[in-house]
Amino acid sequence: AKGIFAFNSDRDAAECAAYVYFGMAYERPDSSLILPTGRSAALLFRAMVRLAKKYAECPFGETQIISDTETFGVWSGHETSRTRHIMDALIEPLARIGKAPADDQLHLLSGVYMKDDPIKEAQKLIRNYPPSVHAVSVSPIGEILAYEVGTYQDIHEILYDAPRILEVGEHSKKYIDPNQPSKSIISIGLGTALSSEVLLILAFDAQKSNILRRLLLGPMTAGIPATLLRNHSNAFILTTERAAIDAGINHLALENKNSKEAAEWIISQ
């Protein structure tokens, strides 16, 4: 990683990520921002809503906003839809305080084929608006973006993936959401994540200490997809001091624990 930040709390770590999104939106108005949809996303969205009050207008500026995964076969209002979670936890709270992005900026992945092909639409958007920042939520065992642990053998099989549909096993389905009716997930693609100008690796809680240690000190393998994030030349790990200590990597963390200052440093790299 280009930098490891071990904050005093998950709240501070989430605020750093939010400041990076807002700062990159200002720096790169003709780009896209890819939002995470894992368990860390809820903390990030709450941080975004809190910090948005400090901005005169919508802190996302004119950038295009994409989600990184969606359950295939469900409509956007379904209880297991990632789009619904983003709308409920982020967009609608921002709208209530007058800070929401415009409707034509939102391109959240669709799990339903209607008039348009959601895969082709995502691919086109990414070509026209290259991603400036993507925060990837890492599971405790190393699953990312619906790429399961133990499923893939060849790094190059998935390293350059554009948006695609992934099939997950029953174990991963239970981990992601035991209530979802489908084992198919539309993913933005590992290659898309690795093409973002800034990659944020989110590991907010102590349960992720083992995968943090593996990310930095273990071998890179397709069997643990999260380790492939090391291919990104501008990746930053945002975690907590407790998780970093448990992972045995606290000595590698940068000294700055101020979320805004850390975000400014990340954007400047």
Give yes or no for a contact between 202 and 12, defined as CB atoms under 8 angstroms apart: no
Cα distances (angstroms) measured from residue 212 to each of 85, 225, 235, 255: 26, 13, 13, 18
Q: What is the pLDDT of residue 113?
A: 80
Give yes or no for a contact between 1 and 234, defined as CB atoms under 8 angstroms apart: no
Coil, strand, or helix at residue 215? helix
Cα distances (angstroms) measured from residue 74 to each of 83, 106, 214, 227: 10, 18, 34, 30
87-117 confidence digits (pLDDT tens) = 999 999 999 999 999 999 999 998 888 778 8
Give yes or no for a contact between 36 and 71, defined as CB atoms under 8 angstroms apart: no
245-268 confidence digits (pLDDT tens) = 999 999 999 999 999 999 999 999
6-53 confidence digits (pLDDT tens) = 999 999 999 999 999 999 999 999 999 999 987 789 999 999 999 999
- Poorest-confidence range of 112-121, 170-179, 198-207? 170-179
Q: How far apart are CA 243 and CA 220, in angstroms?
A: 21
pTM: 0.94
pLDDT at 139 over 70: yes
